[in-house]
Amino acid sequence: MPQGPCAKAHAPKASQKAKAQIPKASPQAQAGAPREPAPKASPEAQAGAPREPAPKASPDAHAPPLSRRTLLTAATAATAAVTAAACGPSTPTPPTAAFLGPDPAQAHRLRDGGWPQGPVSRDIRTQIAIVGGGVAGLAAAWRLRLAGHDDFQLLELEPELGGTARGGQLPRSPHPLGAHYLPSPHPECQALERLLAELGIIVGRDAQGRAEYLPSAIVAAPTERHQVGLLWREGLYPDDGETPEEAEQWARWRAHLQALDRRRGADGRRLFRLPVAHSSNELRHLDTLSFATYLDKLGLTSERLRWAIDYACRDDYGCTTAQTSAFAGLHHFLARGLEDSREGHTLTWPEGNARLVRGLAERAELGDRLSLATAVTAIDPDAGHLEICRLTTRERARIHADAILWAAPRFVLPRVLPPGRDPLPHGALGYAPWLVASVELRTRPRGVGAPLAWDNVPIAGRGLGYVLATHTEDRGLHGAGAVVTYYEPMPGADAAELAAQRSRLLAGDLEHWQGHVRDALTAMHPDIARELVRIHITRWGHAMIRPVPGLLFGPALTRARAAIGRVQPCAADVAGLPLFEEAFYGGVLAAEAALRQLGRDEPSIVEA
Ligand SMILES: Cc1cc2nc3c(=O)[nH]c(=O)nc-3n(C[C@H](O)[C@H](O)[C@H](O)COP(=O)(O)OP(=O)(O)OC[C@H]3O[C@@H](n4cnc5c(N)ncnc54)[C@H](O)[C@@H]3O)c2cc1C
């Protein structure tokens, strides 16, 4: 859920209002048909898994730091009215529920050594092996095909492509399982613009040469609203009752961003760019500070402003401002150019970034170069051998490759390398867990105040609210009901807290998380329980790399990115930022490096 720096109540961010049709469900999404309608008890449930422990007293486990007392007064009347309305007679049919997305048991087999052993049944020869069919792996395949190179194999653990950008399908609408939007790129991101043009998302150029986007891909107004008590207001800055001092701080924050946006480094580069490695050197030292400390130093102490900025970090990185580096925090606001100094758009689809995944896969023409439900279980980085296991048949094979593009998460790599071969110390990279739930509703969510928007965010609570998957559809054509996707990051101050959050995420069974999601939605809409039809829950144990202070330009990431023999890591996590753009550039650049290694003199499509 994006947030522009200037997304105050009166300044919603999407500048173009457009109606859209629903894209068809992707083949991947269809292939990923939910384990439904039978809401089987998970193994955890059968084993009598513990219910969610009471929230810990850590600051991260609590609601963001905005004091509710400051903001609740104005909302009291609305709260009373809605609560009264919610107390009417109701006989809701209980919703069905299913877990979707990666199966933790499958992923943990690499850690626990649960793959079949013994001789391989056959040997396969390829020039380039790509491990991982998320955005990075698909971008690598797309780049190889662009170069006319088709001697590669793409191996994906899951039965579907997409990784954290996968989509799902409810009867009412497709929906995201993770990533759900892409900000329109800065014009200097020519490689990404090229992809978007190939996918028909960029449809032309205006007189100034700026990209023009397919109207249906641009999020339609109203784009964002926030909730204080039960009262909804436009935008993502809780400005109701703002004091002159708070207004001054808001204006100062805007002016600060505008000045940084105009500034260029001594190297002539913009200060914050995508990929982040192309940013100017000028302000890289800010990576060693936390964003919270940076804001303190600027004297930006307004609770409202700090809530809005904290929300942006939790949303983009699954971290609080105290856990995010100042460079990464500013990068969120400035890397694509400051929103109000360019015609920026938020691009989204009902199935989220799964739409981009489908487009990449189609353009890469994978055919028999793709193996789904195939785990890479061991790699000899010097010989270029990969051992693979097909999950359905349990058949094992060995692939011989000249180059191996590791587009799977970096923390998995030491599990498949020979012992002692990974130069990266264990635990050097941290990942935030996330809970995501898509919910089919009988009616569109209501509320007092600002109308239902694409992005609907409560200022209280651990979750980030919900995005409306059915936002852009023509209501006349699609009838009643809606699908919303609820997002909840699970931040932690250190490795121990993150491990505890991850255990909590995986220990909860379907009934537990179904209740959790229902409660979170009920806190926003007291009468919503009777509207729930189906719930799809995805647990991401290692959802997002955390750009903590010192990561982006520090030694850990340098090591994480370095080639190991023939293996080149290239997923978004080795860039340090959990973004579509980083995965895309990681895959493209790794593919180009592999082509060079094979003696192909292919000019890079990536801008310097
Ligand atoms: C909840 C959530 C919301 C997000 N929202 C956004 C958003 O709105 N916009 C945005 O830009 N970004 C968002 N992101 C981040 C974005 O999804 C990622 O940065 C990007 O898609 C990562 O792609 P990737 O290919 O680098 O890695 P991944 O998506 O992690 O893909 C890696 C792939 O490798 C596979 N794999 C792992 N091990 C093996 C093995 N041993 N053998 C074979 N295959 C293996 C995995 O199954 C997976 O498919 C979000 C992420 C999450 C979790």
Torsion of CA 582, 587, 593, 594, to 10 degrees: 160
pLDDT at 54: 34
Residue 156 Cβ contacting ligand 1 at under 6 Å: yes
Per-residue pLDDT tens over the stretch 411-458: 999 999 999 999 999 999 999 999 999 999 999 998 999 999 999 999
DSSP state of 347: E
Q: How confident is the model at residue 178 (pLDDT cuts 50, 70, 90)?
A: very high
For the ranges 108-122, 165-179, 218-232, 257-271, which has the lowest average pLDDT?
108-122
Per-residue pLDDT tens over the stretch 232-282: 999 999 999 999 999 999 999 999 999 999 999 999 999 999 999 999 999
Residue 379 Cα to ligand 1 middle (Å):
21
Residue 22 Cα to ligand 1 middle (Å):
24
* Protein residue with its CA nearest to atom 35 in ligand 1: 132
> 23 pLDDT exceeds 60?
no
Residue 163 Cα to ligand 1 middle (Å):
4
Residue 176 Cβ contacting ligand 1 at under 6 Å: no
pLDDT at 104: 85
What is the mean predicted confidence (pLDDT) over 154-166? Answer: 97
> 5 pLDDT exceeds 80?
no
End-to-end CA distance of the chain: 29
Atom of ligand 1 nearest to the CA of 487: 1
3-state secondary structure of 330: helix
Cα separation, 347 vs 216, whole angstroms: 9
Predicted TM-score (pTM) of the model is 0.89
What is the mean predicted confidence (pLDDT) over 126-135? Answer: 98
Residue 329 Cβ contacting ligand 1 at under 6 Å: no
Largest Cα span, the chain: 73
Q: How confident is the model at residue 291 (pLDDT cuts 50, 70, 90)?
A: very high
pLDDT at 476: 61
> 35 pLDDT exceeds 60?
no
* Protein residue with its CA nearest to atom 1 in ligand 1: 178
Beta bridge partners of 154: 130, 370
pLDDT at 15: 28
Q: Out of 164, 314, 399, 417, give the residue to mutate to test ligand 1, the one with the largest number of ligand atoms within 8 Å of its CB.
A: 164
DSSP state string for 477-501: HH-S-EEEEEEEE---SSHHHHHHH
Cα separation, 13 vs 511, whole angstroms: 37
Which residue has better confidence, 36 or 220?
220
Cα separation, 220 vs 347, whole angstroms: 10
DSSP state string for 345-413: -EEE-TTTTHHHHHHHHHHHT-GGGEE-SEEEEEEETTTTEEEEEETTT--EEEEEEEEEEE-S-GGGH
pLDDT at 6: 43
For the ranges 49-63, 149-163, 553-567, which has the lowest average pLDDT?
49-63
Q: Where are the alpha helices (DSSP H) in 95-205?
A: 104-112, 135-146, 190-198
Which residue has better confidence, 90 or 410?
410
Cα separation, 376 vs 110, whole angstroms: 9
What is the mean predicted confidence (pLDDT) over 159-184? Answer: 97
Residue 578 Cα to ligand 1 middle (Å):
8
Nearest CA to 539 out of 107, 138, 111 is that of 107
233 residue type, one letter = R
Residue 164 Cα to ligand 1 middle (Å):
3
Q: Where are the alpha helices (DSSP H) in 26-72?
A: 27-31, 43-46, 68-72
pLDDT at 458: 98
What is the mean predicted confidence (pLDDT) over 306-333? Answer: 97
> 503 pLDDT exceeds 90?
yes
Residue 155 Cβ contacting ligand 1 at under 6 Å: yes
pLDDT at 240: 94
pLDDT at 290: 98
Q: How confident is the model at residue 86 (pLDDT cuts 50, 70, 90)?
A: very low
The β-bridge relationship of strands 224-228 and 455-458 is parallel
Residue 578 Cβ contacting ligand 1 at under 6 Å: yes
Q: How confident is the model at residue 76 (pLDDT cuts 50, 70, 90)?
A: very low
Q: How confident is the model at residue 475 (pLDDT cuts 50, 70, 90)?
A: low
Atom of ligand 1 nearest to the CA of 161: 49
Q: How confident is the model at residue 117 (pLDDT cuts 50, 70, 90)?
A: confident
Cα separation, 459 vs 227, whole angstroms: 6
The rounded Cα 291 to chain-centroid distance in angstroms is 20
Q: What percent of the chain has pLDDT over 90?
A: 77
What is the mean predicted confidence (pLDDT) over 577-589? Answer: 98
Residue 260 Cα to ligand 1 middle (Å):
30
Computed over every residue of the chain, the mean pLDDT equals 86
Residue 459 Cβ contacting ligand 1 at under 6 Å: no
pLDDT at 183: 96
For the ranges 107-116, 166-175, 434-443, 483-492, which has the lowest average pLDDT?
107-116
Torsion of CA 394, 395, 396, 401, to 10 degrees: -120
Task: For residue 568, give the H/E element and its range.
Answer: strand 567-569
> 195 pLDDT exceeds 80?
yes
pLDDT at 9: 37
CA-based radius of gyration for the chain: 23
For the ranges 16-30, 173-187, 452-466, which has the lowest average pLDDT?
16-30
The pair of three-digit structure tokens given for residue 70, joined into one six-digit string: 């400051």
Residue 135 Cα to ligand 1 middle (Å):
7
What is the mean predicted confidence (pLDDT) over 490-514? Answer: 96
Residue 434 Cβ contacting ligand 1 at under 6 Å: yes
